[in-house]
Structure 1
């Protein structure tokens, strides 16, 4: 089935549908919003390297997810899902795929409760803007549409409070969006909260001026106190740095393990062939003895270094109260606590979380430990690949020389 062609047909259908159903009230849930969701859905789907069928399901659901606003606003998800089903049935898409598209659309209903990865991708694409710099502009459009659609006048302050509550309750469902968008979403949330706080402070100051005068000294002390509290808060940029660094190193570790697996598998096959075929006939071809031994040695050495690169090293798995007090143990690595009971580990973690220096020190140790393990892995892998590369070249040359000069 040509899914790319089907997606183009879905795009044309959606474009025609929005064009033929104009509604001045819908300044947010319109073609522009749909295109943004489709773009986000493609980005997330490409990250997870979905199959052609799953990619089609996600993008098709994105094209139809809000079309129901123009049919049945009170239950637009169900209307959009049915519209998508009617279209897909005409294009001879199988019923299983149609049901998956419908479930992805229905999963966007608030509060979102997606179950499968495909549903999570569509839900995150629908609210992708919450974690982008376009949030403020999009949020204004949504307020304007809400007032027009419900024929109600809702003030900025009330709308901001509702939006703050929504942002606090919302969580992205895919790891990709949590990593990519959570920080910006938090910044958008803090901006709204600052606006609300500033509004409340201005109102409070106006009341205070009419009643009592606050001493300048107290204001300065309060200002110093607020600055101190802000300085004591963990920097989100630092936390983001630790998270991204840790994720990057984990991906590098997975790549190293994959490379080692390739080398082990390849050389195991070569060793099996050498032992089962060539060495059995070495008496008939004595001139190939040295090249065969050379090739066998190269494969064995390569395999050994590849195994060393992936061989785990586990510490004792225990720590003492003294280690906690002196902040010597890294409780973020399982090798330091897997033999401890839950109560001892919980006490240690609570102590670490209440001590900012201990917490960030543990994060630094964790990143450093990952880096040292990565360094060893890639150093062993480099040796393995070098031995294999140069060893294969030398062995092939030895086989050629032995066959040409000593084979007769």
Structure 2
């Protein structure tokens, strides 16, 4: 055996694959080539193979997939061309080249091997079926097909393909492979069948769940109807909270304004009588705004009673406390039992609740709009009236301030004279 030829071929294949093979070949790469070469050596060591046959098999293992650098189609033929050119450059004899190319062509999966060397190279090329790394290698092949855009398998579809391959399409030909790899192949097949069974059981459970869910959905209220009532009622309650918050803001603002007016402005009206009417107008609008805010937020509690006839005729809405707060617990429990046993009654009660919430909201927001309008007009009118009053009485405030300042200064001077006189005596 020409050891240097094997080494040169190995180096040639490594550099060729590294430099020219696209990185989309996740499975058919140098790792696969080395795996096939190891399997070839394993069979050679445990079979009756001559030194010349061993050289042919090792060269075939190294060169059998180099045609992938030209593409997937007819890669065996391309591998033969590359191998022939390389071996001729290495001055290999024609008999060796012919034997190697025949072995390469024997790796075509759609052909059945006939000779001893053909069977050995075929078993080595598909040795991963009988190895414990079968799952890993199989997944790399699936990913390669997907990345290259050739075909995309789901995990369950790929499992089905592998089961079909191991059951019907693949077989080992050499005595060594049948004795040593077949048992692991059967274990790999058993694992696939077990996963398929587990997946089938899971799918059956999911189908059963979906069936019961659909049945329950048909018997119960529509999800869309439930969502409508839930969202609509929640939105109405939020809007009611917003209205109450707005009314409280107006109450607080007007209360502060009136406090400031009473504490500071009214006490100065004696010296500034021309500010009386602007102050009255300003205060009046604030009071009106406060009254309207109180009316908008004032609760309205209903009678809180109902009769059995009202429940039987579905005239009472039991979702609102104002309709039952004066009833006995036993009567209320009976009424709830009647309502929950009738889906139409529940929807009718929710509809009534939604409607009357809308009526209350309309009243609140209408009063709030009036209140804000009154407050805005009051601010504008008050400012105008204050401006008119000050304009028609120019200098009044300055004269009052100067008079007050002179009086205060005179008092201080008189006090100092008094203290100085007493100190002198």
TM-score, normalisation: structure 2:
0.48
Secondary structure in 2 aligned to 1:171? coil
In structure 2, list runs of 5 or more residues that go unmatched: 213-425
Secondary structure in 2 aligned to 1:73? coil
State the structure with more CA Rg.
Answer: 2
CA offset at residue 210 of structure 1?
5.1
Q: What residue is the counterpart of 2:49 in the other structure?
A: 50
Q: What residue is the counterpart of 2:332 in the other structure?
A: none
In structure 1, list runs of 5 or more residues that go unmatched: 213-408
Q: Give deviations 1:214-259, integer Å, cap 9, x for gaps.
A: xxxxxxxxxxxxxxxxxxxxxxxxxxxxxxxxxxxxxxxxxxxxxx
Describe the shift of the 1:105–1:151 C-alpha distance in structure 2 as closer, same or farther (beyond 3 A): closer
C-alpha contact (below 8 Å) 1:3/1:52 kept by paired residues: no
- Partners of 1:209 and 1:35 lie apart in 2 by 49
- Partners of 1:106 and 1:72 lie apart in 2 by 16
Q: Please tell me whether residue 192 in structure 1 is matched to residue 195 in structure 2.
A: no
CA offset at residue 16 of structure 1?
1.2
CA offset at residue 73 of structure 1?
1.5
CA offset at residue 72 of structure 1?
3.4
C-alpha contact (below 8 Å) 1:112/1:123 kept by paired residues: no
- Partners of 2:3 and 2:111 lie apart in 1 by 28
TM-score, normalisation: structure 1:
0.50
- Partners of 1:125 and 1:152 lie apart in 2 by 25
CA offset at residue 208 of structure 1?
3.0
Q: What residue is the counterpart of 1:8 in the other structure?
A: 7
Q: Give deviations 1:92-141, integer Å, cap 9, x for gaps.
A: 21112211111111111112411111111111111111111100111110
Q: After TM superposition, where is structure 1 displaced by more than 6 Å over at least 4 residues in a row? A: none
Secondary structure in 1 aligned to 2:73? helix
Q: Give deviations 1:175-206, integer Å, cap 9, x for gaps.
A: 10011011110111111111112111111122
Q: Give deviations 1:351-392, integer Å, cap 9, x for gaps.
A: xxxxxxxxxxxxxxxxxxxxxxxxxxxxxxxxxxxxxxxxxx
CA offset at residue 152 of structure 1?
4.0
Q: What residue is the counterpart of 2:18 in the other structure?
A: 19
Q: Give deviations 1:293-344, integer Å, cap 9, x for gaps.
A: xxxxxxxxxxxxxxxxxxxxxxxxxxxxxxxxxxxxxxxxxxxxxxxxxxxx
Q: What residue is the counterpart of 1:74 in the other structure?
A: 73
Q: What residue is the counterpart of 1:98 in the other structure?
A: 97
Greater shift after overlay, 2-11 or 174-183?
Answer: 2-11
Which runs of structure 2 are paired with 1:233-272 in the superposition (5 Å)?
Answer: none
> Aligned residues, how many?
212
Q: What residue is the counterpart of 1:177 in the other structure?
A: 177
CA offset at residue 22 of structure 1?
3.7
Q: What residue is the counterpart of 2:84 in the other structure?
A: 85
CA offset at residue 25 of structure 1?
0.7
CA offset at residue 154 of structure 1?
1.8
- Partners of 1:150 and 1:58 lie apart in 2 by 33
Describe the shift of the 1:113–1:210 C-alpha distance in structure 2 as closer, same or farther (beyond 3 A): same
- Partners of 2:11 and 2:206 lie apart in 1 by 57
Q: What residue is the counterpart of 2:141 in the other structure?
A: 142
